[in-house]
Amino acid sequence: AAVRGAANPVAGPYFNLSSPEPTGVVAVIAPADPLLGLVSVVAPVIVTGNTCVVVASERSPLASITLAEVLATSDLPGGVVNVLTGHQAELAPWLAAHMDVNGLDLTGVEDADLALSCEQAAAENLKRVLRPSRQDWTADPGTGRMTRFLETKTVWHPVGV
């Protein structure tokens, strides 16, 4: 709220506040980079209050599975991070079309046709979709990844009534 929230100036006898809220459930396709890529896509989703369903990297799923075990025995509430193992081509379209998934991070999808079909399936129920180009995991991420899966709630209050 300190970064994305605001008191908005309005012309009239109102006080207007905007504050960010979590989108909900975000499906994440993990990149091939075993641990750094995984943490770089999962952490921004959960730190903003969302929950995530992660499709582990096909080439190196061991890091995802190990992180899932660590999270299961940590102080993180159950169900915040859910890890699926399998083929991206089978799991990603189901997550993209699922009506209870509110956001989709296609960072780990390398097949352009699969990414396009996932975007089209996600458009059926107005999901927020992140499809970045090449990602440098050692660069400063900024706040863009965190704020991508936030929605803004605006409240109007009358003043002087």
- pLDDT, average across residues 57-86: 93
Residue 121 above 90 pLDDT? Answer: yes
Residue 52 above 90 pLDDT? Answer: yes
**Locate tokens 């704020």: which residue?**
147
- pLDDT, average across residues 108-118: 93
- pLDDT, average across residues 48-62: 94
DSSP letter at 144 equals H
Report the phi/psi class of residue 136: left, alpha or beta, with left for phi > 0 and alpha for psi in -120 to 50. Answer: beta
- pLDDT, average across residues 107-130: 91
Dihedral sign of CA atoms 63, 69, 74, 75 in order: positive
Residue-range domain boundaries for the chain: 23-148
- pLDDT, average across residues 89-105: 95
- pLDDT, average across residues 139-147: 84
pTM: 0.87
Q: What is the CATH number of domain 23-148?
A: 3.40.605.10
Residue 26 above 80 pLDDT? Answer: yes
Residue 137 above 80 pLDDT? Answer: no
Which of 35-39, 69-73, 157-161 has the least mean pLDDT? 157-161
Q: Can you say how many angstroms the Cα of residue 58 is from the centroid of all Cα atoms in its chain?
A: 20
Name the CA dihedral angle for 149, 152, 153, 156, rounded to a multiple of 10 degrees.
180
Count Cβ atoms below 10 Å from residue 128 Cβ, excluding itself.
Answer: 16
